[in-house]
Structure 1
Amino acid sequence: MLTEVERKILYKIVKSENFDSVEIELMNRMLYLDDELRHEVDQKHIAEDALAELFHEKHEADLKASTLVDEKNELEDELKKAQAGLCVTIGVFDKSLEEMEKEANEPKSNIEQEFSRLFEMSKAELREIEKKHKDKK
């Protein structure tokens, strides 16, 4: 590929000297091919720049994907901890419920039975007093 200086020198040589038509045609062809080569090199640079941009975008996308994977893993860990806590809470609740059911099904102690009997007697006596009071009216 010719530099700008080389191209200018070539133009000056062509203008200043007498060349036959074949030589001029060859020089024109050489300049045309040089222009084509310049165009191809420019296209190559454009493609390289585009490829570099794509690699940069891919790198950014990879970083974002990595960040998303890390966030997903953190959320999964938090979910597992929450599930474990929920299981413990359910276990404690189930145990408390079982204890309450067990206590409800156990026979009452002598003191509780006596208290219940006296309470029922008190209610019966209260009803009798209320009945006598109504009868007096």
Structure 2
Amino acid sequence: MECRSSVRKALLGLFCAILLIGANVTGCISLRLEKGAEGRPLPETALSLAPGKATLIEVLQVYGAPDHVGEISEGFVLAYERNAYRGLSLSVGLPLSDTVRTSADMTAHGSLIRYDTLMFFFTKEGVLNHSLLERGSRSPLWKTYWHDP
């Protein structure tokens, strides 16, 4: 009979421990996804803007005011930018304050900003030398998170 009594006590203790753990693990889980963009969309370089022929006035008529203007030794540069933002946040909270007077909170978050850049390089006289378009937003999202570009 003593053997059955100790087994019952052990099972009762295990049952109480499972109930206690189960009551405390029913915490809060939240997931937040963010997505945004800043700047105007950048169109492909216009065919009418031929290097060596197009002027500063023609570029400004097609694309408007630039985001950045820079000076280089051969002339100057107009730069147009658009950035795309994506973010992820995961939070898990375990309310243990009923039993141990403390609570646990675990949070993980990350973000990724990709840039589209369009640049026009001009001579000192204001004639288009060449242009450059780089679309960072076309790279796959998950590959960009886990691998170096």
TM normalised by structure 1 equals 0.30
Q: Which structure has more helix as a fraction of its residues?
A: 1
Q: Which has the higher contact order (CA 8 A, sep 6+)?
A: 2
Give the greater-gyration-radius structure (CA).
1
TM normalised by structure 2 equals 0.28
